[in-house]
Amino acid sequence: MINFRNISKYIFILSAFFCFQHSFSQESQSNAANAKKWQFLVEPYLMFPNMNGKTGIGNLPDVSVDANPGDIFSNLQMGAMLNLEASNDKWTIATDFIYMKLNQDVTPGNLINTGDVTAKQLAWELAGLRRVTPWLELGLGGILNSLNLGVDINVNNIGGGTTNRSNELTQTWYDPMLIARIKNNQVKKFIYEFRGEIGGFGIGSDFAWQIQAYAGYRFSKLFHITGGYRVISLDYSKGEGEDRFLYDMDTFGPVIRFGFNF
């Protein structure tokens, strides 16, 4: 004799299983769709930099540089800074572009009487980050640095007076970087970000590192403003004699970023 009670129980269990499977499948498809949905950020920014360090080219004496934002902007001939990002729930692809052309007086010393340094600096970074927690991303990147330095100095003579000496060299090198970034949910009104990088490792620079920290406010889905501080440190040296190139410099200062989200 057919036990309709058992059949009904099995039908109920099977129905519940298929309903759960269908619901799980829809949720998985929804999560997959969200993970595949890319968002884009276009972020021009301004940096008010200080520069501290030394540089040297060829057989000229090393030149010390100690410049504040007022010095740099009064001598800035051209500057452009832009950050771009494409991200989904798991991945972020980011690129950062800096170009500056400036002329700066050198710091006088026992050897150098007066002079100036002309620098054309291009830094282009490309990075890939993987979200490992809701607030932490880890990744790899690289920075292409291209720097043209011109040094024109008056060197003190032992018996008195000065001798003018000048030289100009261009170097281009690549620094691999390890990256960690902490940030909150970008749909929040108040947003923050902390980013640290270390690299170079002798492949390009002997050592290179960066720290960035920002906080700001999202006015709409489209637009936000953040402000903070950035430190860029490069210790690069290569060559000997007339081909010697030294750039051991820390660039640091406040930053204002204008973000457009799509």
Residues of the chain with confidence (pLDDT) below 70: 1-36, 76-78, 186
Q: What is the pLDDT of residue 73?
A: 73
CA of 255: how far to CAs of 56, 177, 231, in Å? 28, 21, 10
Mean pLDDT (the chain, rounded): 85
Q: What is the pLDDT of residue 2?
A: 44
- 105 contacts 56 by C-beta, under 8 angstroms: no
Write out the H or E segment, with its range, that includes residue 41.
strand 39-47
Please state, in angstroms and rounded to a whole number, the distance separating the CA atoms of residues 217 and 120.
34
How wide is the angle at C-alpha 237 spanned by C-alphas 231 and 241, nearest 5°?
150
CA dihedral for 147, 150, 153, 155, sign (positive or negative)? positive
Q: What is the pLDDT of residue 70?
A: 78
251: its two tokens: 């660039």
The domain spans of the chain are 1-37, 42-261
Residue for token digits 């109920």?
Answer: 12
Write the CATH number of the domain with boundaries 42-261. 2.40.128.90
Q: What is the pLDDT of residue 36?
A: 63
Please state, in angstroms and rounded to a whole number, the distance separating the CA atoms of residues 167 and 143.
26
**pLDDT tens digits along 91-135:** 999 999 999 887 777 878 788 888 888 888 999 999 999 999 999
CA of 168: how far to CAs of 30, 64, 206, 218, 237, in Å? 58, 16, 22, 45, 15
Any bridge partners for residue 178, and if so which? 140, 198
**pLDDT tens digits along 208-239:** 999 999 999 999 999 999 999 999 999 999 99
Q: Which of 195, 228, 234, 232 is nearest to 210 (CA)?
A: 232
Please state, in angstroms and rounded to a whole number, the distance separating the CA atoms of residues 232 and 100.
14
